[in-house]
Copies of this chain bind each other. A is one copy, B any other.
Amino acid sequence: MDYYSSHISRLIEEFCALPGIGTKSAQRLAFHVLNMPKEQVKSLTDAITSAKENVRYCESCFTLTDAPQCPICADPKRNHKQIMVVENPRDLAAYEKTGKYEGVYHVLHGAISPMLGIGPSDIKLKELMVRLKEDVDEVIIATNSSLEGETTAMYISKLIKPVGIKVTRIASGVPVGGDLEYIDEVTLLRAYEGRTEL
């Protein structure tokens, strides 16, 4: 791409490396950024830098947050005896959008995938087991209904059952193979209400 200057080429390459951004989109983004007022560009880079610097895992549920505990774990009105296990923070956000779930979460940051070489020790499972030593009534497994999500759900239920805590799985109202974050709120609620004991 030598018809662009090196700075522009580099910027296009950086945008291209982001997920879901092709060459055309990257070009559009690059020229958009170059045409933005200086303060807006600074605001964008500051947002990236400060998010990267300040965001860490919640010490309870391991979602991404900028305080030691996330707003959900720090909320005494939430039911801390009900833990919903999700694969990533976007799935947590998807369930929060329903506005009806009152328990707390546990974010695994992934799912067990023998194909990709991701084992139980590569996700936040040990940390979930530690939480179960406290007073917990129910663990709701809300991993995706993909092969990896189902595998993870089975694995977790086998792990928790001996502890004597109720383990449920969200109903398969969620379309098989679908990604939790793209599903509408009503379907997500149906899946929550129709959860069955494993």
A108 → chain B, closest Cβ, in Å? Answer: 14
Interface contact B52-A3, CB-CB below 8 Å: no
Q: Does A49 contact B (CB under 8 A)?
A: yes
Does residue A29 face the partner (Cβ distance < 8 Å to B)? Answer: yes
Contacts of A13 in B (CB 8 A): 47
A177 within 8 A of B: no
User: When the two chains form the complex, which single residue of B45, B71, B96 contacts A45, counting CB atoms closer than 8 Å?
Assistant: B45
Q: A20-B25, A44-B14 are in contact. Are A5 and B49 (CB under 8 A)?
A: no
Total interface residues in chain A, CB < 8 Å:
56
The interface bits of chain A over 1-16 (1 if a CB of B lies within 8 angstroms of the residue's CB, else 0) are 1111111101101100
Interface of A is mostly: helix
B38 touches A45 (CB 8 A): no
Seed contacts A4-B93, A5-B64, A33-B51; 11 additional CB < 8 Å A-B pairs: A2-B71, A3-B93, A4-B64, A5-B66, A5-B67, A7-B50, A7-B55, A8-B64, A10-B50, A27-B181, A31-B90
CB<8 Å pairs between A and B, sample of 10: A1-B93, A3-B92, A5-B55, A5-B64, A11-B51, A24-B182, A30-B51, A33-B48, A34-B52, A42-B49
Mark A residues whose CB is within 8 Å of B.
Answer: 1-8, 10-11, 13-14, 18-20, 24-25, 27-34, 36, 38, 41-45, 47-52, 54-55, 64-67, 70-72, 88-90, 92-93, 96-97, 181-182
